[in-house]
Structures are given as C-alpha cells and as structure tokens.
Amino acid sequence: MTSWADNITAKTISLLEVSQMEAGRHLQETRNQTRISDFLLLGFSEHPEQQPLLFGLFLAMYLVTVLGNLLIILAIGSDQHLHTPMYFFLANLSFIDTCFSCTIVPNLLMNIHTWHHTISHTGCLVQMYFFMALTLLDDFLLAVMAYDRYVAICLPLHYTMIMCPQRCLLLVTVSWLCSHILAFSLTLLM
C-alpha cells in the first residue's frame, strides 16, 4: 500500500517528465524551422518560348512610358507659360510615374532576360516599399490636383492667392512625406 506522500511524489515526477518532454519537443521544433531568404517567381516559366516576345513587349512599353513622362517634364520646364500650379502638379505626377515604372519593370526585364526567377526577401521588401510609397504618392498628388481644380473652378477670383507657389510646394512636400511614412510603416509590418 502506497502512502499519500509517495503518490504525490510519483505524480510530481511524472508531471516533471512530461514537462521536460514538452520542452524538448518545443526545442526540437524551433531548431527545425528554416528561414526563407529567396522567393521563386513562376510568372513566365511555363512558356519559355514566349519570353523573348514578352521581353520585347515590356521593354517597348517601359521605354514609351519613361520617354513620354520625360517629354512632359521637359515641355513644362521649358515653356514659361506652363509654370502654373496645374502644370507644376502634372510635372510632379509625370516624375512619380517615371519612378514608379523604374521600380518594377527593370527587375522584371532582368528576370525574363537572364532566366533568373528569384528575388531575395530584402529585395522584395525594398521593391514593395517603393511600390507602396509611389502608389500612395500618386494618390495624394491626384487629390492635390483635384483640390487645385476645385479652387480654380469654384473660387476663380481667389485662385492666385490660395494656390501660390509656396502652397503648391507645401502640398507636394506633405504628399511626399505622408506617402513615405505610410509606406515605411506598412513595410515594417511585413
């Protein structure tokens, strides 16, 4: 016949053994976890015969986009009659669209051309940061342009006083800051 103290001791020892087994299993599970360092991009790998066509198509669209936006910026910068708030915002929008195209398409062209279909985790985060920052900046700038048109239509007599060059620069600067702060905070969550 076992005593009450022996029974408690046996249960304590078995509980201790179970907790040690759980700790060992947990330690083994944490050791077996692997870290992902690269992502495999499978977008165009199923049809390798179409890759030269896709490379040419994406390259042509990229060049047209970049050259078109640069021509808009040069036209606005070279003509004094176009130095108004609307064209100032349009030149900024063209610059943002050029940067937006330059964040994704060159990497895509490199992946298609070199048959290198991976991207590092850090590269993915950097590309995602710039994608989000420029997309948010595009949206904020479109909102500023809508406000500019609202003031021009609804308050035409006060337009030059409200949309002075300092205010236009302030609106663009605030748009840049807000978009980068939001994109940075969203990237940190990943």
Q: Output the DSSP codes for 70-92.
A: HHHHHHHHH-GGG-SHHHHHHHH
The residue range of the domain holding 173 is 47-188
Per-residue confidence (pLDDT) for residue 40, from 0 to 100: 66
Q: Give the HSE-up count for residue 60: Cα atoms under 13 Å, Cβ half-sphere.
A: 6
| Residue 139's pLDDT band (cuts 50, 70, 90) | very high
Structural domain contains residue 22: no
Per-residue confidence (pLDDT) for residue 45, from 0 to 100: 62
Cα 29 from Cα 143, distance rounded (Å): 50
For residues 117-128, give the mean pLDDT. Answer: 82
> Which of the residue ranges 24-28, 43-47, 48-52 has the most confident prediction, judged by mean pLDDT?
48-52
Number of domains in the chain: 1
Structural domain contains residue 29: no
What tokens does 181 get?
A: 């702060």
Per-residue confidence (pLDDT) for residue 22, from 0 to 100: 54
Structural domain contains residue 183: yes
For residues 35-64, give the mean pLDDT. Answer: 78
Structural domain contains residue 134: yes
What percent of the chain is predicted at pLDDT more than 70?
A: 76
For residues 3-7, give the mean pLDDT. Answer: 54
Of 37-41, 51-55, 71-75, 98-102, the poorest mean pLDDT is in 37-41
CA dihedral (90, 93, 99, 104) in degrees, to 10, reads -130
DSSP assigned state of 38: E
- The CA distances from residue 8 to 2, 4, 11, 12, 17, in Å, are 10, 6, 5, 6, 14
What CATH number is attached to the domain comprising 69? Answer: 1.20.1070.10
Cα 171 from Cα 145, distance rounded (Å): 10
What are the tens digits of pLDDT across the range 8-43? 544 444 444 444 555 555 545 555 566 667 766 666
Structural domain contains residue 158: yes
What end-to-end distance do the CA atoms of the chain give, in Å? Answer: 61
For residues 79-102, give the mean pLDDT. Answer: 92
Structural domain contains residue 88: yes
Residue 147, Cβ neighbours under 10 Å: how many? 14
**SS3 state at 2:** coil
Structural domain contains residue 182: yes
**pLDDT above 80 for 69:** yes
Cα 171 from Cα 141, distance rounded (Å): 8
Average of per-residue pLDDT values in the chain: 82
Structural domain contains residue 161: yes
What are the tens digits of pLDDT across the range 145-188? 999 999 999 998 988 899 999 999 999 999 999 999 999 999 88
Per-residue confidence (pLDDT) for residue 90, from 0 to 100: 94
Per-residue confidence (pLDDT) for residue 179, from 0 to 100: 95
